[in-house]
Amino acid sequence: MEPTPFDYDTADLPLSPTGVQLYVQCPLKWYRRYHEGKREAPTVPLLIGSICHLALQYYTESKGERTVDDCLASAMAATDVVPFGDLAICPSLIKAGVDSIDFSKLMAVEQEFQIPVGDVQITGLIDRVEMVGPQTIQVIDYKTSLVPMTSWEMESNLQLAMYYVAARALWPQYPQVVLSLMYLRKGKMMSQVAEDDLIPSLYMYLNDIVRRIQAGQFEPTLNKYCCYCHVRSECPRYAELPDQAKAAISMPADNPQAAYAKWYMLDQLQYTLEKDSKALQDSLVKGMADAGSQEVATPIGIFRVNNRANRSTDTEACYNILRQSGVSESEIVAAMSFSSQGLDDLLEKHGAAKPGLEQMVRSTQRFQATSSWLTHKAATPPLKKGRK
């Protein structure tokens, strides 16, 4: 079935921030979900997110009178979920959110908002709003994802931009709005401060999205989420992929053995593409350097050249320092086996209790040649003035 224009009058379906982001990600997937009703089955990460959000809502609305376990039980009952192994992480995530709440500053929980765009209302909910100063409020969105956004990604985050516009309309007496993402797995808050210059450019951007939806523009877009797309078999762009890529993406991963097999196949596919990709990236970086440019805006996003000195760690020396400082072997292996971020998190965790630990570990690291590569962010209105 070919996509047709979407009629909001007959569908009576408001557009949400999640829906806007999905359309930007892939218009065809948006059409399959919202026009044809082909919604994906809930995944474990989605279940964890829904349960934790609901439990934190119950806890906050009770002003802390209910326990974490009580709120968790109510959230699982409300979502009709039977407890299973993967949900064992929920209590610790909810506890991290609970620890971040200051009831003396609390202004709103699950605050509904509407952003009028033409004849369409974009309707959403803000998890939590706090007053942090006489002219400042903080909008807080809970996240259960594993990997936090970078500050650059936050600056171009469409959901945060819509939260800012909504907050300025709901509480105009507060001219400064702090936009925060509370990462429950790490117990960390990441924040950005937006500016009113964002508002007209965001409305122009949203108007263009609504216009494209109403005009029936639902062309598919290949992106990093295609691996998880439940309607990829109906996608003409996916059908054009090489057989090896489609086979790797379509492999099941419903048990550890299958997951390892899929990982291996994707790893091999990545290896075959890596050299061509690296050569192309080097060419693009060189072209940007020759042109004296650090950023290039394209219809699919903004690309920036980043430079840094690669660092390598003397594994044996680092291990010995950490063990002598009383850090458990299992923590060290987990931190050093996956990424430099893991080691950074480990040092942050133990550094306060063990003065000088971070400096000693850093002394085992060697800086290699500086490298340049391209990073990408969406071409959405930036939160901060003056940024492209």
Convert the pLDDT of each residue in 313-348 to its tens digit: 777 888 888 888 888 888 887 776 655 667 777 888
Beta-sheet strands, E only, within the chain: 106-117, 120-133, 136-143, 176-183, 188-193, 295-298, 301-313, 365-377
Sheet containing 301-313, strands listed edge to edge, beginning at the edge strand earlier in sequence: 295-298, 301-313, 365-377
How many CA atoms lie within 13 Å of 257's alpha carbon, on the beta-carbon side? 0
**pLDDT at position 156:** 85
Q: How many CB atoms lie within 10 A of CB 80?
A: 6
Q: Is the pLDDT of residue 309 over 70?
A: no
Contact at 8 Å (CB) between 142 and 56? yes
**pLDDT at position 76:** 92
**Mean pLDDT in residue range 81-105:** 90
Of 39-43, 107-111, 128-132, least confident by mean pLDDT is 39-43
DSSP one-letter code for 179: E
**pLDDT at position 278:** 78
Q: Is the pLDDT of residue 285 over 70?
A: yes
**pLDDT at position 12:** 46
**Mean pLDDT in residue range 7-33:** 80
Rg (CA), the chain: 23
**Mean pLDDT in residue range 141-168:** 90
Of 237 and 10, which is predicted with more confidence?
Answer: 237
Contact at 8 Å (CB) between 260 and 277? no
Q: Is the pLDDT of residue 8 over 70?
A: no
Provide CB contacts within 8 A for 111, sequence distance 6+. 125, 126, 129, 170
Can you give the residue ranges of every domain in the chain? 1-240+379-388, 315-363
**pLDDT at position 353:** 81
Helix axes 68-78, 44-61, angle to 10 degrees: 130
Condensed to tens digits (0 to 9), the pLDDT of residues 47-91 reads 999 999 999 999 999 999 999 999 999 999 998 887 777 889 999
Q: How far is residue 27's CA from residue 50's CA, in Å, rounded to a whole number?
A: 24
* One-letter amino acid for residue 45 of the chain: P
**pLDDT at position 388:** 45
Sheet containing 106-117, strands listed edge to edge, beginning at the edge strand earlier in sequence: 106-117, 120-133, 136-143, 176-183, 188-193
Q: Is the pLDDT of residue 163 over 50?
A: yes
CA 359 from centre of chain? 31
With residues binned 3-state (H G I as helix, E B as strand, rest as coil), the percentages for the chain, rounded to 5, are 50, 20, 30
Q: How far is residue 76's CA from residue 234's CA, in Å, rounded to a whole number?
A: 33
Of 22-36, 95-109, 233-247, 370-384, least confident by mean pLDDT is 370-384
**Mean pLDDT in residue range 227-248:** 84
Q: Is the pLDDT of residue 381 over 80?
A: yes
What does the H/E/C string look like for 18-52?
Answer: HHHHHHHHCHHHHHHHHCCCCCCCCCHHHHHHHHH
Condensed to tens digits (0 to 9), the pLDDT of residues 176-225 reads 999 999 999 988 899 999 989 899 999 999 999 999 998 899 999 888 78
Q: Is the pLDDT of residue 370 over 70?
A: no
What kind of fold does domain 1-240+379-388 have according to CATH? Lambda Exonuclease; Chain A (3.90.320)
Contact at 8 Å (CB) between 169 and 114? no
Q: Is the pLDDT of residue 43 over 80?
A: yes
Contact at 8 Å (CB) between 301 and 378? yes
**pLDDT at position 1:** 52
% of the chain residues with pLDDT over 90: 39
Contact at 8 Å (CB) between 60 and 109? yes
Q: How far is residue 193's CA from residue 119's CA, in Å, rounded to a whole number?
A: 30
Condensed to tens digits (0 to 9), the pLDDT of residues 261-280 reads 887 887 777 777 777 777 88
**pLDDT at position 141:** 96
Q: Is the pLDDT of residue 92 over 50?
A: yes
43-67 as b/e, with b when 16 or more CB fall inside 10 Å?
Answer: eeeebbbbbbbbbbbbbbeeeeebe
Q: Is the pLDDT of residue 157 over 50?
A: yes
User: Which secondary-structure segment (H or E) carries 195?
Assistant: none
